[in-house]
Structure 1
Amino acid sequence: MSDETKIHGVNPVQALLESGRPVSSLWVLKGRHGKRVEEMIEGFRARGVPIQFCERTAMDRMADGGAHQGVIARCAPREAMSWDDLLDVVEKAKQPLLVILDGVEDPHNLGAIMRSAEAFGALAVILPKDRTAPLNAGAIKASAGAAERLDLIRVTNLARAIEQLQQRNVWVIGLAGEAGAPLIGTLDCKGPLALVMGNEGSGLRRLTRERCDQLAAIPMGGGVGSLNVSVATGVALYEVLRQRAG
């Protein structure tokens, strides 16, 4: 089918199997052994999914040059939660946690952020529809299966989306590195919260900064002046979870 997508890598394909999403075919590298892959093969076989064992050159070609770890699945696109549905979930949740991305363009960063967001209990990752990273095979692989369990929601107007969250009592913290911003560890992150992360190079856009309730910084102790956006997201999410667990 023309609207199908390909999922590469052991963790993403395993998450796909567990999700129950329709899968039309599974390709496995000839000679690819190991208990986890064998169990994966049996799981797809039990669902009636055709399985083909292929040479490495064919696998590399199907993966379009991406790292596939010897397994590729072709499946229907995942149905994402709608924005209105997310707002309903936020209203009902006791301590909703969201991650908002303002112009993150690297698919690997997107996947790594989704991995951290899912690991630390975020409800969803929100980003604009335009000029942002696609959820392609590289992003899905970098998510290590999180893309199957975490909703990724694209909005037309990010500033308006932030405003709608604020109307539902969500406190919006923008991560920025300028002098004077309080360290995130000094803020109370235990209530309904959205963390806003900026572009890999330019950071948060002016309008996004102005919409945030608070700007915050991550403490830095070495000579490096900044962190990769996916690493910074993981650090900020850890601080939120530390406070809530403490």
Structure 2
Amino acid sequence: MAGNSKRRGATRNAGSKKGASVGTGGHGRKALEGKGPTPKAEDRPYHKAHKAKVRAEKEASKRPQKVARATPRDRTSAASDLVVGRNSVLEALREGMKATQLSVFNRIDADDRVTEIVSLAVEQGLTVREVTKATLDTISDGSPHQGVALEVPPYEYAHPQDLLEAPSPVRIVALDGIQDPRNLGAIVRSAAAFGASGALIPERRAAGMTVAAWKVSAGAASRLPVARATNMVRTLEEYKKAGCFVLGLAGDGEVDLHESSLLDGPLVIVVGAEGQGLSRLVRETCDQVVSIPIAASTESLNASVAASIALYEASKAV
């Protein structure tokens, strides 16, 4: 019996060993490791969100790209600019203003001005291209172009000292903070009409020789040098050292303009800003501050009108 029990135990043990298998141990570790964050729905190839994303990208690639519309450019910058309008373009070409290209409406109703504009452009070797009205509207930024636009390089300012080299007597008009380019253009036009030597404007916080100023000047900007002063007071002091008298215009001036004794010599006429008039330091720099007599019912004169009257009075005194 004992022997049989032993044999049975042995048989069981043998059977256990025969049926045993190697444990998994670390063999399945990779299968249990994480596979990272779950991809977004639009990144799963078979998800409807991914299909919608692909569809949207295809549609976007078919749409024409928007072209940024050019903003008005100032002629004081390094970029080229435009002179628009038949009279302005014609005056610029007649005066031999540097230009690079003329754009003409391809269905323009040509008159004598347009014929001369195209003829002058060809003579001067400019590129002449026919464009649509929509193109002219865009490049002129909505300004009335009348079917023509002339591309010009940035305005070339003179040096303040250059204005002293004009034939005697020197007549300079200085603008103390004029903000409206149309006023600047009108003053430049009057200065050229009354034989001034040039115009002086501040380098900062004032209107520059933009397209608007050029257009109002009616081409006078190509004949009259315009200089920029880094410091208006310092430049006026330099003019005084060179022998010029500085005459300021103000409603509360010390004497009437026509009674001034300074009009027949080398002269700098200073016009103040619209509304504010002459700045304190500029006024203190003036040799004399004069006023223009006007009716009591009129509060003041426009800056360009006041400058024109003063320039006329100065021209009579020569």
Q: Under a length normalisation based on structure 2, what TM-score does the superposition of the two structures give?
A: 0.71
Whether the aligned pair in 2 keeps the contact of 1:170 and 1:192 (CA below 8 Å) is yes
Of residues 53, 57, 61, the one that matches 2:138 is 61
Shift of 1:51: 1.6
Moved more, 96-105 or 15-24: 15-24
Is residue 122 of structure 1 aligned with residue 199 of structure 2? Answer: no
- 1:72 maps to which of 149, 152, 159: 149
Matched, 1:101 2:175: yes
Matched residue, 2:254: 181
Structure 1 pair 56–222 and aligned structure 2 pair: CA distance change class (3 A): farther
Structure (1 or 2) with the greater strand fraction: 1
Rounded to whole Å, the distance in 2 between the matches of 1:106 and 1:172 is 23
- 1:110 aligned to which of 184, 202, 215: 184
Q: Looking at both structures, which has the greater relative contact order when contacts are Cα pairs under 8 Å and sequence separation is at least 6?
A: 1
Deviation at 1:70, TM superposition (A): 2.8
Of residues 278, 292, 312, the one that matches 1:218 is: 292
Distance 1:119 1:70, change over 3 A: farther
- State the Cα distance separating 1:136 from its structure 2 match: 1.4
Moved over 6 A (4+): none
1:18, 1:210 → 2: CA distance? 42
Q: For structure 2, list consecutive stretches of 5 or more residues without a partner in the other structure.
A: 1-77
Distance 1:21 1:108 in 2: 20
Aligned match for 1:149, one of 215, 223, 246: 223
Task: Identify the residue that residue 98 of structure 2 maps to in structure 1.
Answer: 22
Deviation at 1:232, TM superposition (A): 1.0
Asked if 2 retains the 8 angstrom alpha-carbon contact of 1:12 and 1:148, the reply is: no
Q: TM-score, normalised by structure 1?
A: 0.90
Partner of residue 35, structure 1: 112
Contact 2:255–2:291 (Cα < 8 Å) also in 1: yes
Report deviation, 1:205. Answer: 0.5
Compared with structure 1, are the counterparts of its residues 233 and 32 closer, same or farther at alpha carbon in structure 2 (3 Å cutoff)?
A: farther
Q: For structure 1, which runs of at least 5 residues remain unmatched after alignment? A: none
Percent pairwise identity: 38
> Which segment drifts farther, 78-87 or 147-156?
78-87
CA distance in 1, matches of 2:277, 2:103: 40
Moved more, 220-229 or 161-170: 220-229
Contact 2:194 2:315 in 1 (8 A): yes
1:16 and 1:213 map into 2 onto residues whose CA distance is 37
RMSD across aligned C-alpha pairs, in angstroms? 1.8
- In the alignment of these two chains, the number of paired residues is 239
Q: CA deviation at 1:222?
A: 5.2
Separation in structure 2 between the aligned mates of residue 20 and residue 120 of structure 1, nearest angstrom:
22
* Structure 2 equivalent of residue 158 of structure 1: 232
User: Partner of 2:122 in structure 1?
Assistant: 45
Tell me, in whole angstroms, the C-alpha distance in 2 between the residues paired with 1:98 and 1:10.
Answer: 30
Q: Which has the larger radius of gyration?
A: 2
For the 8 Å contact 1:182–1:217, the answer to whether it is kept is yes
In structure 2, relative to structure 1, the CA distance for the partners of 1:36 and 1:222 (3 Å cut) is farther
Q: Distance in 2 between matches of 1:212 and 1:137?
A: 31
Offset at 1:216? 0.3
How far apart are the structure 2 equivalents of 1:69 and 1:192? 42
Amino acid at match of 1:11: N
Residue 213 of structure 2: aligned partner:
139
Instruction: Between 38-47 and 18-27, report the one with greater CA deviation.
Output: 18-27
- CA distance in 1 between counterparts of 2:161 and 2:308 reads 27
Counterpart for residue 82 of structure 1: 159
- How far is 1:96 from its partner? 0.7
Contact 1:21–1:76, Cα closer than 8 Å, also in 2: no
Q: Does 1:167 align with 2:241?
A: yes
- SS of match in other structure, 2:255: coil
Give the conservation status (yes or no) of the 8 Å contact 1:8–1:73: yes
Name the CA shift for 1:238/1:32 in 2 (closer, same or farther; >3 Å): farther
Q: CA deviation at 1:47?
A: 2.2
Q: Distance in 2 between matches of 1:210 and 1:126?
A: 18
Residues 241 and 22 (structure 1 numbering): CA distance in 2 closer, same or farther, change over 3 Å?
Answer: closer
Q: Which moved more, 1:202-211 or 1:20-29?
A: 20-29
Of the structure 1 ranges 227-236 and 5-14, higher mean CA displacement relative to structure 2 is found in: 5-14
Question: What amino acid sits opposite 1:177 in the alignment?
Answer: G
Residue 120 of structure 1, CA deviation: 1.0
